[in-house]
Amino acid sequence: MCYDGKVKSPACNQSWEDLTPAEQEEVRQAYEDIRSEWTSAFSGGGPEDRFARDILRQVDQLLR
């Protein structure tokens, strides 16, 4: 596992396909925490808000 200062993740330097189902679920859970924070923080209509929401949509698609 690696640690980026906030989230421990087994995904560092590994492709999604190389992770075990348990590791994939751990990444999903960590992302949900971040997603909740970003959704609250970037709920306005400014360009940075739209950019953050676009990133979240893209990550959502990748984790499916």
Residues with Cβ within 8 Å of 45's Cβ and at least 6 positions away in sequence, in order, are: none
Query: For residue range 8-44, what is the model confidence (pLDDT) as tens digits?
Result: 555 566 788 888 999 889 989 999 989 999 999 999 9
pLDDT band at 1 (very low <50, low <70, confident <90, very high): very low
Residue 42 in contact with residue 53, Cβ under 8 Å? yes
pLDDT band at 55 (very low <50, low <70, confident <90, very high): very high
Q: How far is CA 35 from the centre of its chain?
A: 6
More confident residue, 59 or 7: 59
| pTM (predicted TM-score) | 0.63
- How far CA 9 is from CA of 13, 25, 34, in Å, comes to 10, 10, 13
